[in-house]
Structure 1
Amino acid sequence: MTDSPTSARRRTLSALIHSSGFLAVCIMVTNVATYGFQIIAARILGPGQYGGVASMMSLLLVVGVVQLGMQATASRRVTDTPGEERAIERTVLRATYRAAIVVGVVMLAASPLVWRGLRLDSIYPALLVAVCAVPLTIMGGQAGVLQGERRWLGLAMVYLALGIPRVLVATAAMWVRPTEGAAMAGVALAQFAPAVVGWWVLRRRTSSAEEPGPIKPVVVEMLHGSFALLAFFALSNVDILIARNVLSDHVSGLYAGGLILTKAVLFLPQFVVIIAFPSMSAEASRRSALLKSLALVAGLGVCAIAGSWLLSWLAMIFIGGPDYAEIEGLLWVFAILGTVLSVLQLLVYSVLARRSRLSAYLLWIAVAAVIALGAIQTSADGLVWAVLSVDATLVAVLLSVTFWRLAQPSHRS
C-alpha cells in the first residue's frame, strides 16, 4: 500500500523544515531583518538620534560575546556527552540564568557610564541596554543546547524570533515616538521573543529526576570562549576606530562605506559556522567538518569577490551610491577582507570546539598588530591593505596550528 500524494508532500515538507538548509534560510532572514532595522531606524530617526541607537547596538554586540560564549559552551558540552543531553541541558541552563543576571546587574551599574560615554539624551536608553542583556544571554544557552542536539527547527525558530520581532516592534515604537529611547524600548521588548521561544521549545526536555552537574566548569569554559570571541570582535571592528582617528572625516567615511561590503561577506556564511560547530566538537568528525566548512566559506567568498569586481556598480548601490564613488575601485579588496574574516571566524569556532586556549591569544596579538600598522596609514587603501595583511597572516598561522593540533593525539592547546 502506497502513501497518498498528500502524505508524501507532508513528509517532504516536514523533512525540509527540520533540515539544516531551513535553518540556513532562517539565519539569512534574521540577518536581513537586522540590516533592515538599521536602515529603517536611520531613516525615521535621522542622523542625530540614530547615532545614539547605532552606538547602543554596537555596545550590545560587545555584551553579546557572553551570549556567544555560552552558546558555544552549551553546544560543545551537549555534543561531547551523548546520552546525557538532558542533564547537561539543566546544568547549562542554570549557568545561563545566573550569567544573565550577572550581566544584567553589571550593565545596570554601568548605565551612568553608558549614558555619558555614548552621549545619550537621558539615562533611560542606557537602562534599556541592561534590560536587553538579560534575555540576550539567556538565548545563548538555549540556542547552544538546540545546536548541540542538532534540533535545527527549534534553533531556526529562535533565530527568526531574534530578527523579525525587532523590526516590527522597534519600527512601531519609532513611528509613535522617533527618539533613541523609543527605539531601544522596542528593541528591549523584542529581545525577549527569542528567549521565550527557546523556553517553549525546551520546556518538556528537563526532568526533576535528572540531577544537574556543577555549573563552575560551564562558567569557566564560557569565559574562555567569550575571551576568544571578544578578540575576534575587536579584530573585525578596530579598523573603523583607527580610520576615525588617522584619516580625514571624508576618507574615513569612504572606508566605513567599504566595510559595509566587508561585513556583508563576513556574515554571509554565518549559517555554516552554526551548522558545522557540533560536528567540529566531536573528535571523530571535527577534521572533515572543518575541511568541508572551509571549502564552502571560501567558495562563497570567491563568489563575493568576483561579484564585487565585475559588478562593482551594483555593489555601490547598497554601499551608499555616488557619494562613495571614490571607493569603488577598492571594493574587491574589501570583499577579500570579508572573506578572510569569515574564514577566521570559522577557525575561531574550531578553536572553541576543541577547547583550545593558547590560540585565542594569537587573536589579541593580531589586534595589537592592526592598531600599530593602522596608526601609520594615511589613506583608505593603505589601511585596508594593512588590515588585510595582518588578518591573512593570522589565518595562515591558525590554519597551520589547527591542522597540526588535529593530527595530535590530544587536540587541546
Structure 2
Amino acid sequence: MGDQTPGRVGARRLVGAAGLGVLVSGLIVNVYLAVVARALPPAEYATFGSFWALALVVGFGAFLPLEQELARRLPLPGDRQALLRAASGAAAVLAGIALVVLVGALPIIWRSLDGDVSVLLALGALCVVSAGQFLVRGTLIGTDRLVRHAAVMVLDAVLRLGFAVGVFIVGGADAAAFCWALVAAIVLAHLPQLPAAWRRAVAWERPLSPGARADRPSVRGLTRAAMPLLVGSVCAQLLLNGLPVLVVAEAGEANEAAAGVFVAAFTLAKAPLSMVVPLQSAVVPTLTRLIAADRRREVVVLLVKGVALLGAVAAIGVPLAFFVGPWVVSLVFGADYTIGGLDLAIILCGVLAHIGLVVVTQVHVARGRHRDVALSWTAGLLTAGVTFWLVPGVILSGEVAFGVGSAVGAVVSALILAASRRRPAEERNEA
C-alpha cells in the first residue's frame, strides 16, 4: 500500500492508514509503560511518570502547533520549499521557548523529578529532539503521506518498547535510564525520515493559479500564526499531563507511593487518548477541504456522531472501570499498584470529556480560528486549576480537576462553534 499524490486521499484512507497506525502505536506505547512500571518501584515510577507527563507538555504541547500549521498549509497551493524552511526556523524558535519555560518552571519540575539531574537533562534534550520529530510528522500529514506517517508512529513505539525491554534486562533500576532510552527512540524513528519527506513535499508542490497571489512564508509569520495554537496546545497538555506532575509534586514523601499508583492508573485510564490525541492533526486536512467546499453540514453530522459514540462508550466503560478497573491496574502494573474503582470511574469520565474537547477544537483549527482553540483550552485549564485548589485531598483533587476542566473546555468550545455558525447566517439575512 503506497503513498498517493496529495489531495487524492479520502476519508477511508485516513481512517485506514493514520487510524490504524495510531491504534497500533498506542497499544504498543501502553505495553511500554507497563514494562517501565514493572521494572521500577512505585516511588521511582512516580519520577518517570512526571518525566513522561512533562515530556508531553514541553514536547507534544510545544510543537503540535507546528504540526497542525503544516497539516493545514501544505495541501494549499504555494511555495513549499519556502514554507518548510520557515517551518524549520519556527521549530527552532519553539524549541527555545520550550527550554525557557523549562528553566522558568524549574522549582516545581525539580521537585516532581525528585531532584534527578540526569532526568532533567533528558527532558531538555527532548525539547530539542521534538523540533525535528514534529517537523517530520507535519510534513507527512500535510502531503497526505498517511501510510508513511502511520509507519513512523509504529516504528517509534516499537523502538520505545525495545529499548525499555533492553534496559529492563540489563537491570535498570532508576528512572533516568528509561528517560534517555525514550529520547533515543524518538531520534532514531523520526530524524532519518526528514530528508525524504522534505524532497517529496517539494516535488509534489501545487503551483498557484494564474493571477493568484500568496504571501511568502517566513519564520516570523509562521511563528506568529502558531502562537494561539501554542497557547491552546500547552494548556491542553497541562490539563492532561500537568495534573499528574502537580499531584506528585504536592504529595510529599508520605504519599509518594500513592502518587506513583495514581500516575500509573491515570496513564492506563487515559490509554484511549494516546490513540486519539496523535490523530488530531491528521484530520485537519480533511476538515479543511470540507469547510473550504462549504460542506459544513457534513462536519456537524460528524460531530454529532462523535458525541453519540462518546455517550455510548461512557455508558459501558464507566461501570467497567468501577468494578473491573482496580483488578486490571494490578494485573498490568503489579500487586503494589492498588486503586479504588470510584477513582478510575472519575478519571475515565474526564478522559471522555477530554476526547470531546480535542475533536471540537480541530474544527476550529481547520477553520483557521486559532484564537478559539486557545480560548477553549484556556477555559478548561483555568477551571481545572480552580477545582484542584477547592477539592480536598491531593489525589482526589487531581482526578476531579481533570474531568471538570475537560468538560467545561468542551462546552465552551462547542458554544463558540455554534455562535460562529449562526453569525454568517445572521449576516446573510441582514444583507
TM-score (norm 2): 0.75
Query: Is 1:233 aligned to residue 247 of structure 2?
Result: no
Match of 2:45 among 50, 75, 79: 50
Provide the aligned C-alpha RMSD in A.
Answer: 4.1
Corresponding residue for residue 202 of structure 1: 198
1:299 corresponds to 2:299: no
Within the alignment, does 1:186 sit opposite 2:190 as a pair? no
1:160 CA drift (Å): 1.6
| Correspondence for 2:391 | 377
Deviation at 1:375, TM superposition (A): 2.6
Higher relative contact order (CA 8 A, sep 6+): 2
Structure 1 segment 262-301 matched on structure 2, within 5 A: 262-270=269-277, 273-282=280-289, 283-284=291-292, 285=295, 288-289=298-299, 291-293=301-303, 295-296=305-306, 298-300=308-310
Per-residue CA deviations over 1:84-128 (Å, capped at 9, x if unaligned) read: 263464245433553366358658978987984445575333223
Matches within 5 A, 1:329-340: 329=342, 331-340=344-353
Q: 1:27 aligns with which of 22, 31, 43?
A: 22
Distance 1:308 1:212 in 2: 50
In structure 2, relative to structure 1, the CA distance for the partners of 1:51 and 1:327 (3 Å cut) is: closer
- Residue 315 (1) aligns with residue 309 (2): no
> Which amino acid in structure 1 is aligned with residue 15 of structure 2?
S
Gaps of 5+ in 1: 1-8
Tell me, in whole angstroms, the C-alpha distance in 2 between the residues paired with 1:231 and 1:107: 13
- Tell me by how many angstroms 1:129 deviates: 2.3
Instruction: For residue 74 of structure 1, report the CA deviation from its aligned partner.
Output: 1.1
CA–CA separation in structure 1 for the residues paired with 2:199 and 2:58 = 26
* C-alpha distance 408-46 of structure 1, shift in aligned 2 (>3 A): same
Q: 1:39 to 1:278 in 2, by over 3 A?
A: same
> Which deviations, in whole Å up to 9, do the C-alpha atoms of 1:149-195 show, x marking residues without a partner?
32211211221232111111233134335133322232221111223
SS in 1 for 2:24: helix
Contact 2:136-2:190 at 8 Å conserved across structures: no
Assess if the C-alpha contact under 8 Å between 1:30 and 1:159 holds in 2: yes
Contact kept in structure 2, 1:279 and 1:286, CA below 8 Å? no
Alignment of 1:1-400 (within 5 A): 20-64=15-59, 65-79=61-75, 81=76, 83-84=77-78, 86-87=80-81, 89-99=83-93, 102=96, 106=100, 116-119=110-113, 123-176=117-170, 178=172, 179-192=174-187, 193-206=189-202, 213-237=217-241, 239-240=243-244, 245=250, 249=255, 259-260=266-267, 262-270=269-277, 273-282=280-289, 283-284=291-292, 285=295, 288-289=298-299, 291-293=301-303, 295-296=305-306, 298-300=308-310, 302-309=312-319, 312-320=322-330, 327-329=340-342, 331-353=344-366, 354-358=368-372, 360-378=374-392, 388-400=403-415
SS of 2:202's equivalent?
coil
What is the CA–CA distance in structure 2 between the aligned matches of 1:374 and 1:108, rounded to whole Å? 22
Q: Does the 8 Å CA contact 2:87/2:219 hold for their aligned counterparts? A: no
Identical positions, percent: 16
For these two proteins, the number of residue pairs brought into alignment is 396
Q: Deviations over 1:367-397 (max 9, x none)?
A: 3333323333246778756654454343223
Deviations 1:131-164 (A, max 9, x none): 2222322221221222223221121122123211
- Report the CA distance between 1:292 and its aligned residue: 1.0
Change (3 A) 1:73 1:49: same
Distance 1:392 1:147, change over 3 A: same
Range with greater deviation from structure 2 (100-109 or 161-170): 100-109
